[in-house]
Structure 1
Amino acid sequence: MELELRHLRIVCRVSDTGSVSKAAAALGVSQPSLTAQLHRIEEAIGGPLFERGPYGVMATPLGRHVLGRARAMLADMDDLLGSSRRYTDAPRTLRLGSLRTVMFGAWLARLEDVLPEREFSTQVDVSCATLTDLLAADVLDVAMIGRCDDDHAPPCPPGVREQTMVHPEPVALALPLNHPLASRTDITLADLAGDVWICPPAGKEDGDLASLRDACERLGFTPQFRYYNLDGTEIEQLIAAGRGISLCAPTVRDIPGSVIRPLVGQPISWRRVLRYRPENITQAELDLIHRAFIDTYRTTIAENAELRPWWSEHPDSHPTIIAP
């Protein structure tokens, strides 16, 4: 079998997710099909690329070598395709990226209404670092990213700009129904020193864990992290089963078997931004995308957060929405 670029993307996706099943879901194929493809790729290269580790699959020494070369080759190819589009006169599809969110479908529907002359291709990921890499490689034109503070978030690469839509976005807590603090609405980060934290969904590290760790260590304790390389459904199931707690956005829907509570004092907050390549999108289009997002965001807050009894009593937990 001759290796093709699509095979290199498979190897990179397995590495990024730490799981063949999650890579298969991200690529839209079945796990048995992807496993068979991976075996053929390893046969073509001459050895195993991954082995099982304590938190999912890990690259072997051969795998690390292949990944380093593969990422460089894919970045070069993406740059070639992206830069070549500038020399064509055909109407271009707007390549939209987004952090995985309950709002994405409603936001995209608004975008298709306000930008009817544009067609959209979409890529959704759990990691703002991955989306930033795709922008840097000119694979995406614009992406909605929810990121942590500047000290820990992936910086904007050269040629990519950022426009803030929501800041600050105070984080909330997802707790099991039987958690000792589940009935309280005055929970501080220090109150959670003995808890187990469930890690964010599997994907390239984007600074969220480091941000949480620093916030906890400023209060005198080191958080206990457990359960890596999970998807959103698995995280919700573990919270409901009482195995740990997690940060969540104020837009989150109610989780069966869990409660959503405010985190007092805003020790951690996120911001929602658009990162974009200015040569591929006009400011007028960017502002329409921005407006469509914050309209969707307000609706989602009204449908979820505003229905929680504690919401009106905790204005410090409300996000600040910024118009374009």
Structure 2
Amino acid sequence: MRHLRVVCRLADSGSVSKAAAALGVSQPSLTAQLHRIEDTIGGPLFERSPFGILPTPLGKHVLGRARAMLADMDDLLGSSRRYSARPGPLRLGSVRTVMFGAWLSRLEELLPDRQITTQVDTSCAVLTDLLAADVVDVIMLGRCDDAHAPPCPARAVEQTMVYPEPFAVALPATHRLASRDEIQLADLAEDTWIIPPAGKEDGDLAVLREACEAVGFSPQVRYPNLDSAEIEQLIGEGRGICLCAPTVRPIPTTVIRPLAGQPVIWRRALRWRPETISRADINVIHQAFIDTYRATIADNATTHPWWQTTPTAHPTIHAPCA
């Protein structure tokens, strides 16, 4: 079952390096493990492409069977927990964020008697699938609007923690617009956009395209398989621009500027199934997140010269439900 989860994570990540990071192993270790799995099954499961790795015909067959088997196993484990009197581990899923370590530390202080296990991914769609399959109890999403976002699974509910969260844009310090206090999206028509790491599509790229097309251009998108450090380096070297949340930390040789009119906004939300986690736990998770979010804003966003004079660029934070 562990090997089947590795194969599914590789397919969802679309990249050996991203899958290795999500699984907490080195890339050479994961590559060696994949070779052992392929030797056992009898053929290659993935092939390289310009956009990462793609499943072979054999890989598609194995993935179809693996997902069904894993869903059955997860359902068995989830249903079995209902007969146990002692609380099991709190299984937390989250999108990648600069706040994750601080948030997790805060949660472990607030829930000292609970073991917290984590699943981190770049894609809200992957996390939603993990919730639907009962691999995690609760997920934190930084998701786009309802028209493009992965739908909430059956029996699951969503609770907003931050909305709206207006996105800014990271520009090279030498960019022609770097001296402006606010950027019009239409003025970025000739720029190259760097997008987050490739993986299962979750609507984020569609939202960017829609916002750009609404002001008259289609974004030129490049470099789909880079991690955060590589993206920051490319921006600093003048190779492109990127959307960023107000929580983003200062980046050398880069400036962060708000987008006029809030053309791209995000929602930070929790999703969970009520039968697997209590309302009390959800409120603790929610409060710990927004406390961490406020602290991160205070550390990072307030360093921008435009922050105090541009209230429209500030996110709205929501307290837990009573």
Question: What TM-score bracket applies, with the shorter chain setting the length?
Answer: over 0.9
- 44-53 vs 248-257, which moves further: 44-53
For residues 122-201 of structure 1, what are the structure 2 equivalents within 5 Å?
122-201=118-197
1:77 aligns with 2:73: yes
Q: State the SS of the aligned residue for 2:82.
A: helix
RMSD of aligned residue pairs (Cα, Å): 1.4
- 233-242 vs 36-45, which moves further: 36-45
Q: How many Å separate the matches in 1 of 2:76 and 2:317?
A: 37
Matched with 1:321 is: 317
Matched with 1:275 is: 271
For residues 215-294 of structure 1, what are the structure 2 equivalents within 5 Å?
215-294=211-290
The answer on whether the counterparts of 1:52 and 1:58 sit within 8 Å (CA) in structure 2 is yes
Deviations along 1:103-150, whole A, 9 cap, x unmatched?
A: 112212222233334331222221111111111111111121110000
Deviations along 1:11-47, whole A, 9 cap, x unmatched?
A: 2222222222322222222322222221222222222
Q: How many Å separate the matches in 2 of 1:30 and 1:109?
A: 24
Query: Of residues 293, 297, 304 in structure 1, which corresponds to 2:293?
Result: 297
Q: How many Å separate the matches in 2 of 1:157 and 1:136?
A: 6
1:114 aligns with 2:110: yes
Matched with 1:66 is: 62
The answer on whether the counterparts of 1:172 and 1:248 sit within 8 Å (CA) in structure 2 is yes
Query: Of residues 86, 90, 114 in structure 2, which corresponds to 1:90?
Result: 86
Task: Say if 1:116 and 1:29 are closer, same or farther in 2 by CA, change over 3 A.
Answer: closer
Q: How many Å separate the matches in 1 of 2:199 and 2:272?
A: 21
The answer on whether the counterparts of 1:17 and 1:229 sit within 8 Å (CA) in structure 2 is no
Q: CA deviation at 1:309?
A: 0.6
Q: How many Å separate the matches in 2 of 1:200 and 1:165?
A: 22
The answer on whether the counterparts of 2:91 and 2:138 sit within 8 Å (CA) in structure 1 is yes
Deviations along 1:289-318, whole A, 9 cap, x unmatched?
A: 211111111111011101211111111100
Q: CA deviation at 1:245?
A: 0.8
Q: How many Å separate the matches in 2 of 1:51 and 1:113?
A: 44
Q: How many Å separate the matches in 1 of 2:194 and 2:251?
A: 15
Q: How many Å separate the matches in 2 of 1:74 and 1:225?
A: 35
Fraction of identical pairs, as percent: 73
Q: What TM-score, normalized by structure 2, do the two folds share?
A: 0.95
Q: CA deviation at 1:202?
A: 3.0
Q: How many Å separate the matches in 1 of 2:53 and 2:218?
A: 26
The answer on whether the counterparts of 1:202 and 1:231 sit within 8 Å (CA) in structure 2 is no
Task: Say if 1:95 and 1:268 are closer, same or farther in 2 by CA, change over 3 A.
Answer: same
Q: State the SS of the aligned residue for 1:87.
A: coil
Matched with 2:18 is: 22
- 112-121 vs 175-184, which moves further: 112-121
Aligned residues: 320
The answer on whether the counterparts of 2:22 and 2:119 sit within 8 Å (CA) in structure 1 is no
The answer on whether the counterparts of 1:55 and 1:227 sit within 8 Å (CA) in structure 2 is no
Q: How many Å separate the matches in 1 of 2:28 and 2:113?
A: 40
Q: What TM-score, normalized by structure 1, do the two folds share?
A: 0.94
Q: Counterpart amino acid of 1:225?
A: V
The answer on whether the counterparts of 2:15 and 2:199 sit within 8 Å (CA) in structure 1 is no
Structure 2: 5+ residue runs without aligned partners? Answer: none
Deviations along 1:148-195, whole A, 9 cap, x unmatched?
A: 000001010001110101100000111111211111122111111111
The answer on whether the counterparts of 1:201 and 1:235 sit within 8 Å (CA) in structure 2 is no
The answer on whether the counterparts of 2:14 and 2:200 sit within 8 Å (CA) in structure 1 is no
Q: How many Å separate the matches in 2 of 1:110 and 1:36?
A: 36
1:47 aligns with 2:23: no
